[in-house]
Chains A and B, each alone.
Chain A
């Protein structure tokens, strides 16, 4: 019941906040913050109490929901899901603090509505990572769209309805394909096992012929690729991220999009091992294209939010690449990358949000010389940026390199291509920093951009601390990921290649 309880906390919180009188805005914020903090603590407690010697799904609970179709309310987490939940729940209180005035500033909608939606989104985020029933996963996958739709469409910027609609349509189309595959999977399971099921663990043992696998795989993959987002299904992301409030963008890119890559790692590999192998070369090519395309597009952006969104497209390329090379480093790197990317992109979105809220613009050209008027703010921007470009010492470096090295041992060409991507990352981040923070501040920047305040600092410092701490002690997270990864490798029947000319007798290397 632990996971259900974890979901109930924000759910009750969301309802409570929603039922508050509209006038009590401060109370709504405080309640939301308190609830999210409690959730985060509980989630961290759960993640830490995971047994890291086993890759099995833990904290399993199962209640019948629609027995006629073998659908159940079944939850459970392994190391990867546990860490993702922890990451998501840590981000929520921080974005609540960072977006303390976002609802008022948007000038639309009620304050309590904003915070209730965030908490509702948190429920869905936990649910989507914790579900071990594919149908339940699908339900959360789709329900999750609604809070985001309203968060963007109601509290977003000038183009909000366009962005919200685009986001919704893309996701729904993707989800539709997944639903089709899901039903197909159910039918196949009914034919094979005699009784249809959506249970993840049962489905992993399902023996499907290659043709069926390939077909069903595509439906799931399309949904996840839209969600993740991979080129060419990415165009909704820049719009959505640029129009949403920074907090929403953080959750959207930092957590929601992870559902795509999480879905690949959790469902595609174990359920469709043959198809995964079959499609891996194509997906690797797509991932490499994403890495490059996202990075080049990021260089060409004039809007900071869009720039970050495109950088994320590039990063998601790395994550997908790591998943589909199937090596332990690649898989662990990708899993770890999901967490790090949540933090680093979150930090970037928040700090850019701080800048935008001061200057009233997200255009890079409207800035310049920020480091002179607000050195700490500029410093925070730089650290967030460095984390995004995977500077060693930051957690994203560890994950990025793990992906690269995992790729290299399986596919040298892809690794070489992806490695060049890190140069582009340095370029777009530092170029943005150069144009935003350096130089002489203009009149407008001088008058509008003030130093970062305490509240904003409180929201962003924990993220940066987590980035650096995980960069120095990545093993703290990797030890939970490793067992899950070795289980995954069993599903896809892959063994890491042994070094070509290792000096194993030396016993060196640990």
Chain B
């Protein structure tokens, strides 16, 4: 069962990649079928899980011994439990919807087959990531999604910007992978095992330093994959990929892998206060940074990307709060998966309607031309800013509450983040669908085909009711409790003032945005005379510039210096040595001047020398 979940999309990818042009005609349907059947297998697994008691819901599958060297024994084993199944359903569900959406979105691309193959590959890798029963196999999925992400970001390879963005994403992710490698190594050295169950069981024996180091390493890994500060820079560039990719990989699923990792390794974080604090700090920084970047972007996708960073910041922050937060981190992850995918698909639909223009300043008043998109995007908008009773409200509100309980400063961060979110989302909404039309003459906005709108509608429904469903019908807290543990807040009733305050902050953000962008005309060209803050936000808070200045440029100089050193230094030394010998030989050759007397003289000198040596030795 579990293996089939991964096997089906993997099979799809293999067939499409090896099949080549022969599969062009039906390849995309095949991919959708594979993804969908994986989803159905997931649903079936879920159903059977529901039928069992909470303790028996975990299924371990041992496929074969993967690596066994000395005491390093890694099985190729899968594990499906309450946490995994939530991810499985999100990945395959949203994944299938996005597959369907892509049929329409990529209809005119000559490499559509390859695109679907990569999507299937991604789904398989992501499933492996969440289904592995040990950290080492998780690593395979972890880099597998990185590969799929690389392939998909740089899918339009002829665009240099896309190729560069793909490479950047992979390399930055690799920095995060270093963290995961170190975490696995530390776990092996500390506990002698790398399985989830083994590590969880042994975690209690670990000393504070080891736990702290493992926690930091895992956090580094999470930062890479989830685009958290300071490894956030790749996510904005990743928007070079086709929009479905941004929706699936860079919003709903892959980027949340970091959250999964931290929740999965909760045994470590539970025991290390320091590591948890670090997680919270990183989450808080990213949450504000992402929101800040989102406020100034005119590129609709980059705006959403900033928002994604910010929302994942929420999740990471929640995960860092410990047992009180894990559940809400996952909860927010699930709702975010739905509404953010919906928003991205909506953005894709908008772009589809306006000749692939991504600049919101060229939109405006699209609500008339694209009704379905308007409504679905609107639902997503309401969900993300946290208007009750939409999905985002439930999950975000819980996080804000828990944050305030733990630490007022952290709570304030989340509250401010909520306000800023409301601001930039409203800005996006108004610039796109309201105001006067600002599009070019040759642009004729139109609604997208049904393959695209249907997934959007389904996701919009999820954004609207997913939160309610999960919280009250699914009782997610109880569902996840066996895996993550759950501690209800101690002062549950003491925060009655919080929800109204949050709503007030959100309303303020909406109102300010509406005041700025809704009631006044939006200039088609971005104004150049802006505050330093706006400029910083437009430049992704100078993340790239900092990377460039700290790593890239010195790195290139170092490389160049080393190349010079290698050719001129090492090789030059060797070459110089050879030349020296050659030169000496050429000189020495002159000693062979042809005069027998000269040779005789040398002999005489030699004889004298030998006599001298003999003399010395005898003394």
Contacts and interface: CB of A to CB of B under 8 A. Distances in A.
Decide if A and B touch, CB cutoff 8 A. yes
Interface of A: 231-232, 234-235, 293, 296-297, 299-301, 327-329, 332-333, 369, 371-372, 376, 379, 386, 391-393, 397-398, 401-402, 404-405, 408-409, 415-416, 419-420, 422-423, 426-427, 430-431, 433-434, 437-440, 473-475, 478, 481-482, 485-486, 496-504, 506, 508-510
B118 to A, nearest CB: 12
Report the contact-size class of chain B (Cβ under 8 Å from the partner).
35 or more
Contacts of B157: 369, 371-372, 437-439
Given A293-B562, A509-B193, A478 B68 contact: yes
Given A235-B566, A392-B139, A508-B193, A501 B69 contact: no
Contacts of B68: 475, 478, 482, 510
A46 to B, nearest CB: 23
B60 to A, nearest CB: 11
A43 B560 CA distance: 44
Given A427-B171, A430-B170, 13 more contacts: A327-B70, A392-B139, A405-B72, A409-B188, A420-B178, A438-B160, A482-B69, A498-B192, A499-B192, A502-B191, A503-B202, A509-B71, A509-B193
A501 B206 contact: yes
B69 A329 contact: yes
Interface centre among A431, A434, A503 (most CB of B within 10 A): A503
Nearest to A371: B157
A383 to B, nearest CB: 10
Contacts of A503: 191-193, 198, 201-202, 205
Contacts of B66: 474-475
B143 interface: yes
Given A438-B160, A501-B206, A501-B210, A301 B143 contact: no
A422 B181 contact: yes
B65 interface: yes
A509 B198 contact: yes
Contacts of A300: 559-560, 562-563
Nearest to B68: A475
Interface string B186-210: 1011111111011001100111001
Contact of A499 (B20, B147, B190, B566): B190
Interface in B165-184: 166-167, 170-171, 174-175, 177-178, 181-182, 184
B10 to A, nearest CB: 10
A349 to B, nearest CB: 20
Nearest to B177: A422
B571 interface: yes
A426 B191 CA distance: 30
Contacts of B562: 293, 296-297, 300
Given A439-B160, A496-B71, A426 B170 contact: yes
B154 A426 contact: no
Interface string B570-582: 1100100000000
Given A296-B558, A478-B68, A423 B189 contact: no
B364 interface: no
B73 A509 contact: yes
B380 interface: no
When A and B form their complex, which 9 residue pairs have the shortest distance between CB atoms, in order from nearest? A499-B192, A328-B70, A503-B202, A502-B192, A438-B163, A509-B193, A508-B198, A392-B140, A300-B563
B143 A499 contact: no
B369 interface: no
B67 interface: yes
Contacts of B164: 434
A440 to B, nearest CB: 5
Contact of B191 (A235, A481, A485, A499): A499
Contacts of A474: 66-67
Nearest to A165: B578
B75 interface: yes
Contacts of B71: 328, 496, 498-499, 509
B167 A508 contact: no
Q: Is the interface of B mostly helix, strand, loop or mixed?
A: helix
A392 B145 CA distance: 11
B294 to A, nearest CB: 28
B139 A509 contact: no
A232 B570 CA distance: 7
B293 to A, nearest CB: 25
Nearest to B76: A472
A404 B185 contact: yes
Contacts of A397: 140, 143
Contacts of A497: 189
A509 B192 contact: yes
B144 interface: yes
A299 B562 CA distance: 10
Contacts of A473: 64
Contacts of A332: 69-70
Interface string B10-21: 000000010010
A508 B574 contact: no
Contacts of A509: 71, 73, 192-195, 198
Contacts of A482: 68-70
B618 interface: no
Contacts of B65: 475, 510
B22 interface: no
B158 interface: yes
Given A420-B178, A485-B69, A499 B188 contact: yes
Nearest to A510: B73
Contacts of A369: 157-158
Contacts of B143: 391-393, 397
A9 to B, nearest CB: 33
B180 to A, nearest CB: 10
Contact of A426 (B17, B171, B184): B171
A419 B202 contact: no
B89 to A, nearest CB: 25
A327 B171 CA distance: 30
Contact of A438 (B75, B158, B178): B158
A502 B174 contact: no
Contacts of A328: 69-72
Contacts of A392: 139-140, 142-144
30 contacts: A231-B570, A296-B558, A297-B559, A328-B69, A333-B69, A391-B147, A392-B143, A401-B136, A402-B69, A408-B186, A423-B175, A423-B178, A427-B171, A430-B167, A434-B154, A434-B164, A434-B167, A438-B158, A473-B64, A475-B66, A475-B68, A499-B193, A500-B189, A500-B191, A503-B193, A503-B202, A506-B201, A508-B197, A508-B198, A510-B65
B198 A297 contact: no
A296 B558 CA distance: 8
A235 B574 contact: yes
A392 B135 CA distance: 13
Nearest to A407: B185
A430 B150 CA distance: 10
A419 B158 contact: no
A449 to B, nearest CB: 15
Contacts of B198: 503, 506, 508-509
Contacts of A434: 154, 163-164, 166-167
A299 B157 CA distance: 21
A496 B72 CA distance: 10
Interface string B590-611: 0000000000000000000000
Contacts of B139: 392, 401
A508 B195 contact: yes
A430 B171 contact: yes
Given A439-B160, A478-B67, A498-B192, A393 B566 contact: no
A488 B17 CA distance: 43
